[in-house]
């Protein structure tokens, strides 16, 4: 799945485009207990924004219904997760 990854206050989610990140339209939560810690150790975060991350992404995992009503679903059992930040590719998982 190619999409946009956003992270706000430690919560990571996927949306169709960067414009959708603000409204969280059809957002899908990424469910991983150490996601923020892993990202901060591997990928430079944004500064001066409500978003820690807002970038292109690709992900492979299992999609299921989210218990959090703000999200359309959530991805668990992540097999592959890549981010593209300022033209640089980061392989997270």
Residue holding tokens 């299992």? 62
Looking at residue 1, what is its pLDDT? 59
Given CA atoms 10, 12, 15, 18 in this order, what sign does their dihedral have? positive
Looking at residue 8, what is its pLDDT? 96
Instruction: Report d(CA 47, CA 24) in Å as an integer.
Output: 20
Instruction: Report d(CA 23, CA 42) in Å as an integer.
Output: 27
Q: What is the pLDDT of residues 58-86, one digit of tens each?
A: 999 999 999 999 999 999 999 999 999 99
Q: What is the pLDDT of residues 40-52, one digit of tens each?
A: 999 999 988 899 9
Chain centre distance of CA 30? 6
Looking at residue 47, what is its pLDDT? 85
**Is 2's pLDDT higher than 90?**
no
Range of the domain at 10: 2-91
Chain centre distance of CA 58? 9
Give the total number of structural domains in the chain. Answer: 1
């Amino acid at each position: 799945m190619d999409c946009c990854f956003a992270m706000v206050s430690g919560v990571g989610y996927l949306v169709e485009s960067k414009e959708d990140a603000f409204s969280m339209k059809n957002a899908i939560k990424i469910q991983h207990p150490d996601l923020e810690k892993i990202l901060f150790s591997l990928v430079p975060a944004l500064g001066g924004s409500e978003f820690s991350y807002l970038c292109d992404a690709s992900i492979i995992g299992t999609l299921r219904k989210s218990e959090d009503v703000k999200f359309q679903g959530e991805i668990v059992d992540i097999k592959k997760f890549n981010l593209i930040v300022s033209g640089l590719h980061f392989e997270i998982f």
